[in-house]
Amino acid sequence: MPEYNLNLPIINQDTKAFWEGCTRHELLIQKCKDCNNFRFEPAAICPHCISSNYSWEKVSGKGTVYSYVVYRQAPQPSWASMVPYVIALVELQDCGVKMITNIVDCTPEDVKIDMEVEVVFEYATEEISIPRFKPV
């Protein structure tokens, strides 16, 4: 595996199950057991009803581009080889939550609002794979 030089996520007790799912190439989203709303990013309590009861639901990883920007300058030296790249808000088909992510496997000019995408998992370390999205 090539060395992963980009920033790694900080894993805590609220995000641990999410990142463990990504390592298995499963996209897990929290669902409140009291009001049934999905939420992202992972959090200890529901932003809708403040319940701390939740489950992790495996979703398909299919979604659409809700919005995006193209970065043409690297925010940090480690990202220099990545530019230009796309940071997008992807709305997940199964649960309606929006994830901040990257669109990969296409040029920034190929990315369009409402474009159908699906998750891919980029190996970073043995404990972490990063969910990004590619065109369907």
Footprint on this chain of Zn ion (rule: CB under 5 A)? 32, 34-35, 46, 48-49, 51
Least distance in angstroms from the C-beta of 94 to Zn ion:
18
ω into residue 2 within 30 of 0, thus cis?
no
Least distance in angstroms from the C-beta of 96 to Zn ion:
14
- The residue among 48 and 134 lying less far from Zn ion, judged by its C-beta, is 48
- The residue among 35 and 87 lying less far from Zn ion, judged by its C-beta, is 35
Determine contact, residues 80/74, Cβ cutoff 8 Å. Answer: yes
Contacts of 120 (CB under 8 A, 6+ apart): 104, 105, 131, 132, 133, 134
- The residue among 46 and 124 lying less far from Zn ion, judged by its C-beta, is 46
Least distance in angstroms from the C-beta of 50 to Zn ion:
7
ω into residue 41 within 30 of 0, thus cis?
yes
